[in-house]
Amino acid sequence: MNIEKFSSFFTGDALLFMEEAIDLALREDGRDLTSEGVFPPDHRLSAKIIAKEDTLVAGLPIIPLVMERCGTGEWSWQAFADDGDLVADRTVVATIEAGAARLLKAERIILNFITHMSGIANLTRRYVQQLEGTGTRLLDTRKTLPGLRYPEKYAVLVGGGINHRKNLEEMLMLKDNHVDLAGGITPAVTRLRATYSPCPPIEVECRTLTDVQEAVLCKVERIMLDNMDIPQMREALEIIPDSIETEVSGGVTLDTIRTLASASPKGPDFISVGRLTHSAPIADFSMLVQ
């Protein structure tokens, strides 16, 4: 199995947070007294993970991370798909062989991750398809479940989207509260650039055309057009020079995203959608124990 996509994403803090999420899931479950009581310690089982619908696959490389952390003894696994593959209903995507108690303890945790991440990848793919040919790219947001930001954002990548900032350090975003309390966009940007050297990229959330004009004069790296109607958005995009990235955000759905991307000859560079991570339905996978 080619796990380059997974391993290149889950390094450093991302891998640490992923392992902590698995450890928390194991602690939440506690001991599997049922399996420990029913099966002798040396009893081994094999299992197949099966897609129960046509779906993208995301999260298979989490299997060894879970298995290594939930027991001792020999175990093995094999993948029959790569993350990002579109598989048909009833496709076997992986097999696992291990001690019975260990495998059954890992079962639900493995499936929880794979079904959730594959569901995000599926929804992301649908949004990406709506943007085909427009030149606008799809961004996720920080609207992620606590502790699961990295697997959820990885799933967005698998579905063809792009990650926005993963934390509050990668990009400085001036939202309405920051701007209002600082006394305006200009003083807020000035304070940030005076505080940090080098200063991370600055994005400004703009609610009006006056906001856009001020952000342009500040030469920030990105301007977000927040909840603007199409005529206002079209006018704003014409004001912003090519040297500043543009992002459209606010209540974007599958029914509206293509209209937003193509409503102006100069479309936005990005459209961000919180629904990718906070509202994606799970994909249906099951584990069949033999």
- Residues forming the active site: 108, 143, 175, 205, 226
* Calpha distance 10→19 (Å, rounded): 10
CA distances from 268 to 76, 121, 123, 157, 246 (A): 47, 23, 21, 20, 5
* Residue where the block lists tokens 């509050």: 168
67 phi, psi to nearest 5 deg: -60, -40
Angle between helices 209-218 and 230-239 (to 10 degrees): 20
* Calpha distance 17→155 (Å, rounded): 15
Which of 165, 207, 204 lies closest to 188, judged by CA? 204
Instruction: Please name the residues in contact with 281: beta carbons below 8 A apart, sequence gap of 6 or more.
Output: 119, 123
226 phi, psi to nearest 5 deg: -100, 115
